[in-house]
Copies of this chain bind each other. A is one copy, B any other.
Amino acid sequence: MSASGSLDVVVNALTAALGEDLVLSGQAIERFCRDWHGDVTTGAVAVVRPRTTAEVSAAVRAIRTLGLTIVPQGGNTGLVLGCTPDDPTRQVVVSLERMTSVRRIDADDFSAVVEAGVILSDFKDRVEEAGLYFPLALGAQGSCRIGGNVSTNAGGINVLRYGMTRELVLGLEVVLPDGSIFDGLSTLRKDNRGVDLKQLFIGAEGTLGIITAVSVKLMPPAEKVATALVGLAALSDAIELYRRARRDCCDLMSAFEFMPPVAFTLAQEAIPDLAMPMSADYPAYVLMEISGSGLVDIDDLMQRFLEGVMEDGLVLDGVIAASRGQAKSLWLFREGMNEGQAKRGAHLRTDVSVPLSRLAAFVETAEAAVMAHLPDCTCVSYGHVGDGNVHLNVLPPGGLSAGEVQQRIYAAKSVINAVLDDFAGSISAEHGIGRLKKADFLSRLPAVQRQLLTAIKQAIDPDWIMNPGCQLNSDTDS
């Protein structure tokens, strides 16, 4: 029997076990086998799309029985190939896209229970209708799904105030590799009954089970938001500004993003009619946001904070948005900068973190090292100051061949990772490991950590059927 013939037999067996409505194969699965950037297209045996937790459990049992493996997938917006299959002869994608029920929003409990396939922005809208706020905010929020957000412990622009996804999760429902269902959808705020099992699945990228539903904390809405863009003499001044804002604005700061002057150029390449809010001559910029509800005068707080830091000469120039519309257009520089980078073609995207006290030194050292090795490239460093999280991207010049571009990207990554190791940083601040960063992850992983991770994987997924090749290699692979 040919390979595709034997594949047909397996697909037929899967369909017989689960029903035609649940199983896709052939052309219909293409969109599940392409990563978010469009860099990688591959294949899978089939895609299973369960509608309920019981159907996820049945799918896991059926796939296991057929000797196949499972790649769980949410909105397929991951940036590290964590949910992209890479073995068209053994892997079945289990897509959660049909599990889209918001099971409960309890405004009195400041909590919600939501299924894994709900799109983040849909959920945020539903929560807003209930008079509350779910703070997770990502560029991909119109496509990413809650289960994927939890599986990857997603970050985003509000981490500074509300923490990573982990800190928003109260409980989980997970289908385990043997098909059994871990029912932990509590909304209790405090529950100290021993080892907290749900923590294992957050950030596991589907290697230990399939998250089918999540209970989360909700917050009071930020009724008032003050947004400002300021210019500074150096990145180190931006760090100093953060320290001061952290004290002066208490816990009311919801974003603090630094950007280089080239942000304006890039944003205008993407959005040509974007009006400059201020001179582009300062060496560093910060976009900051303070927000709150109720009785605190947020506008007054921003005004007085900026007056103080300008009087002290820490901030050289600044604009405060006078309306929601103006605030949006300030954020357009941040978003347009990303689009502008994409327009320049293939480039290195990094997502690293270092201790906050070493952020400015890291960026200076790493950019200097890149420039020394690759003088024709452009560095674009920006990110979330309060989290020590930098996206230090490197753009090759125009006019190179695809091979030359890849060479530059590879060289830049090596240079940056070497500097990062000196600064005790992380090669993945928010994007995860997946398949894309696995080699860089494993080569830095201490033996004790590796033994622990392997022991836990072996304990929960002894046949290594969950998302094989993601994060870890099985002993036979490594």
- A238 within 8 Å of B by Cβ? no
Of chain B, the residue at the smallest CB distance from A452 is B197
* Distance of A243 Cα from B188 Cα, bound (Å): 16
Kindly identify which residue among B155, B202, B446, B456 contacts A459, using a CB–CB cutoff of 8 Å: B456
Kindly identify which residue among B111, B294, B460 contacts A355, using a CB–CB cutoff of 8 Å: B111
- A3 within 8 Å of B by Cβ? no
Chain B residues lying within 8 Å of A451, measured Cβ to Cβ, are 180
- A289 within 8 Å of B by Cβ? no
Contact of A194 with B188 in the complex, beta carbons under 8 Å: no
Contact of B109 with A247 in the complex, beta carbons under 8 Å: no
| 0 or 1 for each of A67-79: is its CB under 8 Å from B? (1 = yes) | 0000000000000
Which of these binds chain B: A163-171, A227-235, A255-263?
A: A163-171
* Distance of A163 Cα from B427 Cα, bound (Å): 27
CB distance from A254 to the nearest CB of B (A): 10
Contact of A191 with B428 in the complex, beta carbons under 8 Å: yes
Of chain B, the residue at the smallest CB distance from A252 is B250
Kindly identify which residue among B182, B184, B248, B294 contacts A248, using a CB–CB cutoff of 8 Å: B294
Contact of B190 with A194 in the complex, beta carbons under 8 Å: no
Contact of B449 with A249 in the complex, beta carbons under 8 Å: no
Kindly identify which residue among B183, B188, B197, B384 contacts A425, using a CB–CB cutoff of 8 Å: B188
Which of these binds chain B: A334-342, A402-410, A430-438?
A: A430-438
Contact of B455 with A182 in the complex, beta carbons under 8 Å: no
* Distance of A196 Cα from B252 Cα, bound (Å): 28
Q: Which residues from 39 to 53 on chain A have a C-beta closer than 8 Å to any C-beta of chain B?
A: none
Q: Which residues from 440 to 474 on chain A have a C-beta closer than 8 Å to any C-beta of chain B?
A: 441, 446, 448-449, 451-453, 455-456, 458-460, 471-472
Kindly identify which residue among B208, B246, B429 contacts A190, using a CB–CB cutoff of 8 Å: B429
- A159 within 8 Å of B by Cβ? yes
* Distance of A370 Cα from B309 Cα, bound (Å): 59
Contact of B294 with A448 in the complex, beta carbons under 8 Å: no
Kindly identify which residue among B188, B353, B386, B472 contacts A353, using a CB–CB cutoff of 8 Å: B188
| 0 or 1 for each of A125-163: is its CB under 8 Å from B? (1 = yes) | 000000000000000000000000000110100010101
A-B contact pairs, 22 of them (CB 8 A): A111-B356, A152-B192, A153-B192, A181-B448, A186-B426, A187-B355, A188-B353, A188-B354, A188-B388, A189-B353, A191-B353, A191-B429, A192-B203, A193-B433, A194-B205, A194-B432, A194-B433, A195-B207, A195-B453, A197-B452, A247-B293, A250-B252
Other contacts beyond A188-B354, A190-B387: 20, CB < 8 A: A106-B357, A109-B355, A111-B356, A159-B189, A167-B167, A183-B448, A189-B356, A189-B388, A189-B389, A190-B384, A191-B353, A192-B203, A195-B203, A195-B204, A195-B456, A200-B200, A220-B246, A250-B293, A251-B251, A251-B252
Nearest 6 pairs of A and B residues by beta carbon: A248-B294, A199-B199, A459-B459, A108-B357, A109-B357, A250-B292
